[in-house]
C-alpha cells in the first residue's frame, strides 16, 4: 500500500515538473517578489516555465496588466536576458517600463500585421532559450494554439505572457495560470493629495494544480507589495452597467 502511495506521489511530482512547476527546493525557494500570491501555485513557486494568460478587455485593464507584467519582467530579466513583445496593435509606451525597473532597450518589439504572425513569432520566441520572457498581445487564442505554445515553453523554459482581449471562450486554453488585473483606487501616504502607487486587484482566476485567489497588490516603486486590509472597493466586474453619457 505504501509503495503505491509513493509511486503516486512520484508520478504527481513528474507531472508537475512537465507542466512547468519546479519542485520545492529544500529550504530556499526562488521568489519572484509576489509575496503570498506565490503560495497559490503548487509548491509555492511561481511557474516560470509556463504560459500565463491575462484577460484584458478594457484599456485600463491592459494598462494594469502591462504594469503587472513589467514588474514580473524586472525579476525575470535580472540576469540580463532580453524579452520579446509581439503584437498587432501595441500601445505600450516603452519609456514607462523603466518605472518598473525594466530596461526598455532590452525589450525587442515585433509589431506585425496579422494575428497569425504574432502567434508564429510567439511560438518561435518561446523556443528560444536565450530569452527571459515573451509577451504576446492577441485577440483570442484557441486550444490548439495554446497547446503549441505550452509545448514550446516546456522545452525551453521561457516564460510566456499572453494578453487576451476577448473575455469569452475563457475555458478553452491550456494556460497554467489565468489572471485578471484591474486597477484599484490608489492610496497616497497619510492622505496626501494626488495619486499614490499603482494599485491593482489581482484575480488569479485559474491555476493548474493550485488555488485560485483574489489579492490586492501595489507596485511600491521598487517591488510588489500586497495590501492586506482595505475597505471594500467597487470592483470592475460589478460595474458593467456603468453610467453612460
Partner 1 sequence: MQRRFVSIWFRQLLSDWQLIRRPELSGVPFVFAAPDHGRMMITAVSRLAHGFGVEVGMRAADAKAICPGLEVLDDKPGRPKKLLKGLGEWCVRYSPIVAIDEFAMDGLLLEASGCSHLWGGERGYLKEIVSRLKSKGYSVRVAIADTPGAAWAVSHYGTVTPLIPAGAHVDALLNLVPDALRLDETVLAKLRKLGFYQIKSFIGMPRSVLRRRFGDGFLLRLAQAIGTENEVLIPLQLPVAFSERLACLEPIKTRNGIEIVINKLLEKLCKRMQGEGKGIRSAVLTCYRIDGKVVQVDIGTSGASHDIRHLFKLFQLKIDQIRPALGIELFVLDAPKVDDVEVPQEEMWTSKPGLDDKSVIKLLDRVAGKVGFQVIQRYLPAKRYWPERSILKAVSVTEKPTAPWRIDKPRPTELLKTPAPIEVMAIIPDHPPKFFIYKGVRHIVTKADGPERIAREWWLDQGEHRDYYQVEDELGGRYWLFRSGHYGVENKYKWFIHGFFA
Site residues for partner 1 per CB under 8 A: 59-60, 62-64, 66-68, 70, 79-82, 84, 91-100, 103-112, 117, 120-121, 124-125, 128-132, 182-186, 188, 193-195, 198-200, 219, 233-234, 236, 239, 242-245
177 touches 150 (CB < 8 A) = no
**Cα 201 from Cα 216, distance rounded (Å):** 5
Query: How far, rounded to the nearest angstrom, does the alpha carbon of residue 217 sit from its chain's CA centroid?
Result: 13
| Closer residue to partner 1, CB minimum distance, 95 or 171 | 95
Query: β-strands 213-219, 224-226: how paired?
Result: antiparallel
| Closer residue to partner 1, CB minimum distance, 2 or 243 | 243
First to last CA, the chain: 67
Residue 74, C-alpha cell as written in the block: 524586472
- Distance of closest approach, residue 123 Cβ to partner 1, in angstroms: 11
- Distance of closest approach, residue 120 Cβ to partner 1, in angstroms: 7
- Distance of closest approach, residue 77 Cβ to partner 1, in angstroms: 9
Burial environment of residue 226 by CB neighbours within 10 A (0 to 12, 13 to 18, 19 or more) = middle
- Distance of closest approach, residue 19 Cβ to partner 1, in angstroms: 23
| Closer residue to partner 1, CB minimum distance, 13 or 101 | 101
| Closer residue to partner 1, CB minimum distance, 63 or 174 | 63
| Closer residue to partner 1, CB minimum distance, 26 or 79 | 79
- Distance of closest approach, residue 42 Cβ to partner 1, in angstroms: 27
Residue 70 burial (CB count, 10 A): 23
- Distance of closest approach, residue 72 Cβ to partner 1, in angstroms: 12
Q: What are phi and psi of 41, to 5 degrees?
A: -90, 155
| Closer residue to partner 1, CB minimum distance, 39 or 103 | 103
**Cα 24 from Cα 42, distance rounded (Å):** 9
30 touches 45 (CB < 8 A) = yes
Amino acid at each position: 500500500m505504501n509503495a503505491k502511495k509513493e509511486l503516486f506521489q512520484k508520478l504527481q511530482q513528474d507531472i508537475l515538473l512537465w507542466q512547468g512547476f519546479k519542485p520545492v527546493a529544500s529550504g530556499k525557494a526562488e521568489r519572484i517578489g509576489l509575496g503570498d500570491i506565490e503560495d497559490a501555485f503548487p509548491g509555492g513557486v511561481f511557474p516560470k516555465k509556463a504560459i500565463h494568460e491575462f484577460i484584458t478587455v478594457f484599456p485600463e485593464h491592459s494598462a494594469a496588466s502591462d504594469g503587472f507584467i513589467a514588474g514580473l519582467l524586472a525579476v525575470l530579466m535580472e540576469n540580463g536576458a532580453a524579452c520579446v513583445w509581439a503584437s498587432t496593435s501595441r500601445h505600450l509606451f516603452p519609456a514607462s517600463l523603466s518605472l518598473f525597473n525594466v530596461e526598455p532597450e532590452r525589450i525587442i518589439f515585433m509589431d506585425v500585421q496579422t494575428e497569425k504572425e504574432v502567434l508564429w513569432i510567439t511560438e518561435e520566441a518561446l523556443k528560444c532559450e536565450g530569452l527571459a520572457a515573451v509577451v504576446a498581445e492577441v485577440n483570442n487564442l484557441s486550444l490548439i494554439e495554446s497547446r503549441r505554445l505550452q509545448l514550446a515553453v516546456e522545452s525551453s523554459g521561457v516564460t510566456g505572457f499572453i494578453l487576451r482581449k476577448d473575455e469569452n471562450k475563457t475555458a478553452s486554453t491550456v494556460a497554467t495560470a489565468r489572471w485578471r488585473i484591474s486597477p484599484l483606487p490608489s492610496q497616497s501616504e497619510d492622505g496626501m493629495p494626488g495619486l499614490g502607487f499603482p494599485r491593482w486587484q489581482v484575480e488569479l482566476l485559474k491555476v493548474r494544480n493550485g488555488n485560485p485567489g483574489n489579492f490586492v497588490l501595489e507596485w511600491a516603486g521598487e517591488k510588489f507589495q500586497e495590501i492586506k486590509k482595505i475597505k471594500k472597493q467597487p470592483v470592475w466586474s460589478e460595474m458593467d452597467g456603468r453610467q453612460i453619457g
